[in-house]
Structure 1
Amino acid sequence: MTLADISQCTMLESQKKTPSNIGDSVRNMMKKAFHEERLCCGVFQCVNLLESDADSVMVCVLPEASSQNITTRIQHKLIEAYCRENSIKVLKVDNAEKLDMLFSATANNINKTHDGGNDRNSVTDLDLSCVLVKYPKTLSAEDEYISSLCEDFICIDQFLYSTVELRV
């Protein structure tokens, strides 16, 4: 790490938000991405997207895997390594159940406002063991914040918030 990198990291550290704000920002980004159909869910679908169009991926969201589920932990390590190797930002959230609750609530709100059944809003079938968020046409404040947060994690090489507590 060069002196310029260290000063940039110090500057980034001073711009940190509190953990609750981080969780709120992640929640808002995920809700917006779900609404705009910019999510790819499930390990195998995510691997296919990473192989075919990795440049379209803004961030990879990995929920904490239970210590008992070795298969999921290995899959997460491989996906995380691939993403880091290809400069794709990785964000870890505390658990898949909160992702499920978030997407269920978002889908219910969409169904209430649009008053029609839409297959994409059926979240009971989603595999949330890995979620890729594709780039939007224009980055929102949350998108930019999450992007800079992931870069802070990489820059300081210590995860102060190694796992983001997703607020539902």
Structure 2
Amino acid sequence: MRYLIPILSLIFFSMLTHAQVYKWVDSNGKTQYSDQPQLTNTGQKKQELKIQSAPTPLPTTNTENKEDAGNAKTLADEKLEFEKRREERLKMEVQLKEKKAENKQKCIDSQSRLRVFLESPRLRMPDGKGGIIYADDTLRQQKIDEANEAINTFCQ
């Protein structure tokens, strides 16, 4: 209902735009424009103007269509290149996040190994054959140095 009044007013005013316009020169020599013809017929020349409501669009030529097609191809190519760059960037970001998570886990593991080697005075280690050996001071210092290197590498 609230759209009814604006629609009716648009229809009414659009009918007024199709009204006829008349042009004539009055007795004072001034050019007059009106929607009604001159009332007194003084023998002067009156002219009926034809007003077009909207100009008709000009047909496009084949050369413009070819240029537009060329531009459309380049835009499509640019869009494809943009999408490729975006996908590559997203892949790199995912790889970087995975690498950071992996390094964080390695850092935590290295710190816990260092803590074990520093706090355990008598350290037992598997020998690889199913047996257990006790680590002497040189082996223990070697493992501490390896853990420190790993911490320096992964905990940045």
Q: TM-score range by the shorter chain?
A: under 0.3
Query: Larger relative CO (CA 8 A, sep 6+): 1 or 2?
Result: 1
User: TM-score under structure 1 normalisation?
Assistant: 0.16
Higher Cα radius of gyration: 2
User: TM-score under structure 2 normalisation?
Assistant: 0.17
